[in-house]
Structure 1
Amino acid sequence: MSPTEPAPVRKTIPHVDFALDDLDSDEERYFDFYRKVAVHEDMLVPLAEHHDGPNSYYVLFDRAATWGPGMPQVLAVHVQRDQEKRTFSFEQAPLPLPAMAQSWLIHRGCPPDAIGLDPELGPPPADEATRALERRLVRDGDRYAMNYSYTSDDPDDMVIVVVLQTQDEHTPSPFRVVVEEVDTETWTHTLREGGFDTAGEALQWCDDRLTGEAGLLPPVRPAATASRSAGVAKAAAPRPSGRSR
């Protein structure tokens, strides 16, 4: 969801400050941080950030990522500073959805109630179903591994598809497809989830959605009605190469 799109009310888009100028880290670490995070610093929009002593947590929208078709446009960054040694370390992860970035940071020590998204940046949730699924992704994101994602910022069909694989092989519908769609007329977004038994089925649904041929998402099967054999995840299909719309 792009903070660069017009919205009815919008404050000035803020800039990110990593506050590393006074730290004398080694050259290799600075280069690694520049290459992975700060290379497009002027294109990074902080959707959320929290600072707690030596730790800083950022959910960033990368406006430069739109140049790479299908690439995740959200960047989660955790910076740790050692003021006595005047050095820093960092972790980063490009992710397709802000809720996934929030979850990633929370599981690296960020207080859950301190990394809320700026409501004036990006389209707000369209309904309670979207808000509920986002809360669950933030809370339970560590239970899933990302298998595949594709972000389309086509103004006629702004959509993000994500395939998640549960870490528990006995969970019903072990592969989940999460779909975010933006309504450019109302400037809101919806988030929906479907359940699949195999990675191949989930990936095929994503391909069909990106070409406008997908049917409704199949529901996630409840644990109480899932058979033990159906709950065993099959081997994940290799990520297809050269995917494009």
Structure 2
Amino acid sequence: MPSSPDFRLDGYDAVNDRVAEQFWQHIDIEATELTVLAEHHTDDQRHSYYVLHNGAVTWGIPGEPQLVALHLQRDVKARTFRFQHEQLPLVPMAQSWLIARGCPKDAIALRPDTGTDPADEATRVLEDRLTSDGDHFALVTSCTSDDDPDRMQITVLLAAIDENAPLRFRVLLEEVDTEHGTHTLREGGFATYEQATAWWQAHWSGDDVPLPTAQTATRRSAPSAMPGLPAPPVPRTGPTR
């Protein structure tokens, strides 16, 4: 069964007061709401990697990502630690973020009793690409909607770092089938930001608009938002209060 995190920090102190305060604000204060979806620890105990689900987000700002990628770094001689973390919308993006920080890909797979299964081969292929490929895209915005248990979905807007990349803007759409315990993930490609956000707004208005085919592989998305690009409005169908 999914479990609460053991950060393996007994006997360790934060490397300084600033790190201690940030760890409390971003991780420890909501530790009882965090569920471990995947974790890996190096044999020398210097590094721990976690994919966590934060149940507290459901009660926060509508649409916020519910996953946390956490990388703990320990100085085993000094008995101190520091950390990096990122709030991300999709499991492959969290795995990718951790892999970029030294976690082996085959060590951070989800636990067998956790989450939903890919519904088809297209989902598996796209998730593998998101997990494995280079940092060619940046996260612009995302929306996680879990207010309707029969229509749980996550939308993600990415932008290529290379402004001359074909179909520079990508939308990822994950839809969860809670009845069968599966999910699908699809990718759409757009030449302009305006086209991408027009699809986004139509989709969240309830229109049945298909995603245009993305012919170029989506790469792993960097965590920071692209400067100068406003995020599309968050739909009002956000998580349940």
TM-score range, shorter chain: 0.7 to 0.9
Q: Once superposed, which parts of structure 1, at least 4 consecutive aligned residues long, lie more than 6 Å away?
A: none
Given the alignment of the two structures, is residue 202 of structure 1 paired with residue 196 of structure 2, yes or no?
Answer: yes
Give the match for residue 229 of structure 1.
none
CA distance in 1, matches of 2:82, 2:132: 25
Q: CA RMSD in A?
A: 1.8
Using the size of structure 2 for normalisation, the TM-score is 0.87
Contact 2:63–2:234 under 8 Å retained in 1: no
Give the match for residue 25 of structure 2.
35
**Equivalent of 2:55 in 36, 39, 63:** 63
Using the size of structure 1 for normalisation, the TM-score is 0.85
SS of 1:30's partner is: helix
What is the Cα deviation at residue 207 of structure 1?
2.2
Give the match for residue 105 of structure 1.
98
Higher relative contact order (CA 8 A, sep 6+): 2
1:33-63 Cα distance to aligned partner (Å, 9 max, x none)? 0101121111111111000120000011111
SS of 2:133's partner is: helix
Match of 2:54, as an amino acid? Answer: D
Structure 2: 5+ residue stretches without partners: 218-226
CA distance in 1, matches of 2:19, 2:232: 32
Given the alignment of the two structures, is residue 166 of structure 1 paired with residue 156 of structure 2, yes or no?
Answer: no
State, as a whole percentage, how many aligned pairs show the same letter: 49
What is the Cα deviation at residue 198 of structure 1?
1.5
Given the alignment of the two structures, is residue 83 of structure 1 paired with residue 97 of structure 2, yes or no?
Answer: no
Match of 1:119, as an amino acid? Answer: P
Query: Given the superposition, is the C-alpha separation of residues 113 and 134 from structure 1 closer, same or farther in structure 2, using an over 3 Å criterion?
Result: same
What is the Cα deviation at residue 30 of structure 1?
1.5
Given the alignment of the two structures, is residue 238 of structure 1 paired with residue 238 of structure 2, yes or no?
Answer: no
The equivalences for 1:217-236 within 5 A come to 217-221=211-215
Contact 2:171–2:196 under 8 Å retained in 1: yes
Structure 1: 5+ residue stretches without partners: 1-11, 224-234
Match of 1:35, as an amino acid? Answer: Q
CA distance in 2, matches of 1:222, 1:92: 29
Count of residues paired in the alignment = 223
Contact 1:199–1:236 under 8 Å retained in 2: no
CA distance in 1, matches of 2:216, 2:135: 20
What is the Cα deviation at residue 96 of structure 1?
0.1
1:116-170 Cα distance to aligned partner (Å, 9 max, x none)? 1112111111001000000000012522100110000021320100001112233
CA distance in 2, matches of 1:199, 1:244: 21
